[in-house]
Amino acid sequence: MSKKLLKKIFNKALNKVKAESIINDNISVKKSVVKIIDKKINLKDINNLYIFAVGKAAYSMAKECENILGEKIKSGIVISSSKGELKYLKHFTSTHPEVSQKSIDAGNLLFESVKKLKKNDSFIFLLSGGASAMIEKPIDGLNLDDFKKISSSLLKSGIDIKALNSVRKSISQIKGGKLSNEIKAKGTVLVLSDVIGDDLNTIGSAPMNNGKFSHHIIGNNKIALKEAKAFIKDKVEKTKIITTSLDKESAEAASFISKKIQEYDKKYETFCLLFGGETTTVVKSDGGYGGRNQELALRLLINNSINDKISILCAGSDGIDGHSSSNGAFIDFDLYGKIIKEELNPKEYLENSDSNTFFKKLGYDFNTGITGTNVMDFVIVVKQK
Q: What is the pLDDT of residues 313-344, one digit of tens each?
A: 999 999 989 889 999 999 999 999 999 999 99
Q: What is the pLDDT, as a whole number, of residue 66?
A: 98
Give the rounded distance of the alpha carbon of 299 from its chain centre.
Answer: 22
Pairing of strands 186-192, 27-30: unpaired
Residue 109 has pLDDT above 90, yes or no: yes
CA atoms within 13 A on the CB side of 292: 29
Residue 298 has pLDDT above 60, yes or no: yes
Pairing of strands 186-192, 328-331: unpaired
pLDDT in tens, 23-53: 999 999 999 999 999 999 999 999 999 999 9
Residue 161 has pLDDT above 80, yes or no: no
Q: What mean pLDDT is reported for the chain?
A: 94
Q: What is the pLDDT, as a whole number, of residue 153?
A: 81
Q: How confident is the model at residue 224 (pLDDT cuts 50, 70, 90)?
A: very high
Give the rounded distance of the alpha carbon of 18 from its chain centre.
Answer: 11
Contacts of 32-40 with C-beta under 8 Å, sequence gap 24+, read 34/69, 34/72, 36/124, 36/188, 36/190, 37/188, 37/190, 37/216, 37/218, 39/188, 39/214
Longest dimension (CA), the chain: 71
Residue 275 has pLDDT above 70, yes or no: yes
This prediction has a pTM of 0.89
Pairing of strands 214-219, 73-80: unpaired
Q: What is the pLDDT, as a whole number, of residue 58?
A: 96
What sign does the dihedral 121-122-128-132 (CA atoms) show? positive
Residue 236 has pLDDT above 90, yes or no: yes
- Mean pLDDT, residues 110-131: 96
Q: How confident is the model at residue 99 (pLDDT cuts 50, 70, 90)?
A: confident
Residue 188 has pLDDT above 60, yes or no: yes
- Mean pLDDT, residues 222-239: 98
Hey, which residues does 377 pair with through a beta bridge?
277, 316
Q: How confident is the model at residue 279 (pLDDT cuts 50, 70, 90)?
A: very high
Residue 345 has pLDDT above 60, yes or no: yes
By C-alpha distance, which of 316, 321, 97, 126 is closest to 221?
A: 316
- Mean pLDDT, residues 211-219: 97
- Mean pLDDT, residues 89-104: 93
Residue 1 has pLDDT above 70, yes or no: no
Crossing angle, helix 221-232 and helix 3-16, to 10 degrees? 130
Query: Which letter, b or e, does each residue of 141-152 get, where b requires 16 or more Cβ atoms within 10 Å of its Cβ?
Result: eeeeeebbebbe
pLDDT in tens, 162-172: 787 778 788 89
By C-alpha distance, which of 302, 383, 291, 296 is closest to 336?
A: 302
- Mean pLDDT, residues 71-100: 95
